[in-house]
Amino acid sequence: MKTPLTTLDDVRRTCGMSKQLCGRKLVVALFMRLIAGGVLIVPVADVQAAVVFTTLYSFGSIQDTNGNALDGRAPNALVQGSDGDFYGTTQEGGTGAYEGVHGEFGTVFKITTHGALTTLHSFSALNDGYYPNGLVQGGDGNLYGTTWGGGSGVEVAWSKYPGAGTVFRISTNGELTTIYSFTGANDGVNPQGGLVQCTDGEFYGTTYGGGIYPPPNKVSDIFNFGYGTVFKISTNGVLTTLHSFGSVTNAYGGSVDGSNPQAGLVQSGDGNLYGTTWGGGENGHGTVFKISTNGVLTGLYFFTDSNDGASPCAGLVQGSDGSFYGTTAIGGNNGSANGGYGTVFKISTNGALTSLYSFTPNNENEGNVPAGGLVQGRDGNLYGTTWGGGTWGNGTVFRITTNGAFTTLYCLTGGNDGANPQAGLILLGNTLYGTTQAGGSNDNGTVFSIALPAPQLTIIPSGANMILTWPTNYLSFDYTGYTLQSATSLISPATWNPVSPSPVVIGGQNVVVSPISGTQQFYRLSQ
């Protein structure tokens, strides 16, 4: 028989038991004796749940008579705040209007882990900007982000709306302040990748265009707006341009140091910032670069549009091993000309790059065009999304190990579950959270969660002992990162302590034997 289990958290199970544990030899001997006697039945696959996908919110649930999504459309970023709620931006939608005409300029929203959404701000294009593209929570508790266009900077030749983009601050209750409006000149135009706050308290980011180096034989105006910049900005809006791409060009007018960064930056433990550019570099297919907080830029790697990929449009994540991990949108599989649909790569701080995986047209169930960056879990694996591909062609959620073993976790159908994820994921415990730009019940995008399979703690009585087991892995999910903990009471705040000694691994199961006594004891698995 199995002792009933009580779920405490998403990956935790408990049962009343005595707290004393037996030695390693007794564990093995008892386990083998129970197997031989046909007493112990340890279920594996039949008690494990596959990934569980939940649509938390479908945008467009609030519409006006013209079908405008007043709650936002096409979410493109998500971050968890210190209060436990998620905050994000939608690229379009909202209630904002420009010169009295409703426009879909984007929103900032808050959403709980259960899917209750609140619109904090709707952009109106003029002073506050339009098309927001990312948030980060500052040390002061406020959220900071950028908009692609708008603001009070300049008239833009290629847009019916004014402004070259903004940096804004917004409180968690929705009070927004524009702290900088780009001019489209030396300070850049169209910030796209969001911000990162560094250890010095300043925020750092990139602009897609602008800077002091316009393309050769082009006039320096907003239409021919340059190769982009790296900037830093204080919480009160003092902006400094650290680097303008295009400082060195080749015979074809390409920017050797990179061009048009589409992603944000990440600060390493060495104090430097690391990032990517969509184009440019020695081969014209994008770069990985390092830049100091005072603006000294070093090109670490120049993509070739071969097996290494081309055109990285997502930022980097630094893994627990010190290396950086990222994706390219195209290339791999011998280049984009031969059907390469993007790559996952690893790169060291000195620029040594290893291609971990190439997405291919011959196996589209894996997805294609990884665009949202990666997140590393406590299990050491990396999780990400693809914009397209998968069984139904609407994108996927995947996992990849640091040595390149790839698993498709979920294929989006384009229905209520959404389509075309573009932003990165958030991993909390055993659950991934993310967004899709399209699909959902109103085809305006979604916020979703994916609960990953958690190990089930099985408890079986046998004479004077209780046997606690859980699998070492399931469906290629590695459960070695879980530990058995115990507590004498569940009254809050419960005190959980690691159980000693470590489990014995037998037949793909972690096994611990505990003698039954009169002392109440509760157990859980914790990652």
Q: Is a pLDDT exceeding 60 seen at residue 28?
A: no
In this predicted structure, what is the pLDDT of residue 160? 66
Could you tell me the pLDDT band of residue 468, with boundaries at 50, 70 and 90? confident
In this predicted structure, what is the pLDDT of residue 17? 33
* Residue range 47-66, pLDDT digits in tens: 234 789 999 999 999 998 88
User: Does residue 43 sit within a domain?
Assistant: yes
Token code pair at residue 246? 């295009």
For residue 31, the enclosing domain spans: 6-50+454-526
Q: Is a pLDDT exceeding 50 seen at residue 29?
A: yes
Q: How far apart are CA 70 and CA 357, in angstroms?
A: 40
* Residue range 30-51, pLDDT digits in tens: 555 444 444 444 433 332 347 8
User: Does residue 100 sit within a domain?
Assistant: no
Single-letter code of the amino acid located at 28: V
In this predicted structure, what is the pLDDT of residue 333? 82
What integer is the mean pLDDT of 229-252? 91
- Residue 480 has a CB neighbour count (10 Å cut-off) of 12
Give percent of the chain with pLDDT exceeding 90.
57
Q: Is a pLDDT exceeding 90 seen at residue 242?
A: yes
What integer is the mean pLDDT of 365-377? 90
Q: Cβ contacts of residue 310 below 8 Å, gap of 6+?
A: 285, 286, 303, 304, 328, 329, 330, 331, 335, 336, 340
User: Does residue 301 sit within a domain?
Assistant: no
* Residue range 409-447, pLDDT digits in tens: 999 999 999 999 999 999 998 899 999 999 999 999 999
Token code pair at residue 523? 């157990």
Sole residue written with tokens 């699998």: 471
Residue 127 buriedness (CB in 10 A; 0-12 / 13-18 / 19+) = middle
User: Does residue 193 sit within a domain?
Assistant: no
User: Does residue 87 sit within a domain?
Assistant: no
Q: Is a pLDDT exceeding 60 seen at residue 7?
A: no
Could you tell me the pLDDT band of residue 364, with boundaries at 50, 70 and 90? low
In this predicted structure, what is the pLDDT of residue 107? 97
User: Does residue 506 sit within a domain?
Assistant: yes
Contact between 149 and 159 under an 8 Å Cβ cutoff? The reply is: yes
Q: How far apart are CA 224 and CA 268, in angstroms?
A: 33
In this predicted structure, what is the pLDDT of residue 217? 54
Number of structural domains (the chain) is 1
Mean residue pLDDT of the chain comes to 85
Q: Is a pLDDT exceeding 50 seen at residue 192?
A: yes
Q: Is a pLDDT exceeding 90 seen at residue 482?
A: no
Could you tell me the pLDDT band of residue 334, with boundaries at 50, 70 and 90? low
Q: Is a pLDDT exceeding 80 seen at residue 27?
A: no
* Residue range 144-183, pLDDT digits in tens: 999 999 988 666 555 667 788 999 999 999 999 999 999 8
* Residue range 92-134, pLDDT digits in tens: 999 988 777 777 899 999 999 999 999 999 999 888 999 999 8
CB burial readout 38-61, b (16+ within 10 A) else e: eebebebeeeeeebebebbbbbbe
* Residue range 215-225, pLDDT digits in tens: 665 544 444 47
In this predicted structure, what is the pLDDT of residue 257? 93
In this predicted structure, what is the pLDDT of residue 155? 61
In this predicted structure, what is the pLDDT of residue 11? 31
Positive or negative torsion for Cα 85, 199, 190, 278: negative
What integer is the mean pLDDT of 192-204? 95
CA separation (Å) from 54 to 167, 367, 432, 449, 518? 33, 20, 10, 5, 42
What integer is the mean pLDDT of 345-358? 96
Q: How far apart are CA 425 and CA 429, in angstroms?
A: 13
Could you tell me the pLDDT band of residue 479, with boundaries at 50, 70 and 90? confident
User: Does residue 111 sit within a domain?
Assistant: no
| Paired sense of beta strands 73-80 and 86-92, if any | antiparallel
In this predicted structure, what is the pLDDT of residue 214? 73
Virtual torsion, Cα 152, 154, 155, 160, nearest 10 deg: -50
In this predicted structure, what is the pLDDT of residue 498? 87
Q: Cβ contacts of residue 201 below 8 Å, gap of 6+?
A: 139, 234, 235
Q: How far apart are CA 2 and CA 457, in angstroms?
A: 10
Q: Is a pLDDT exceeding 90 seen at residue 301?
A: yes
In this predicted structure, what is the pLDDT of residue 410? 93
User: Does residue 464 sit within a domain?
Assistant: yes
Nearest to 122, CA basis, from 111, 108, 136: 108
**483 or 25: which carries more pLDDT confidence?**
483
In this predicted structure, what is the pLDDT of residue 163? 81
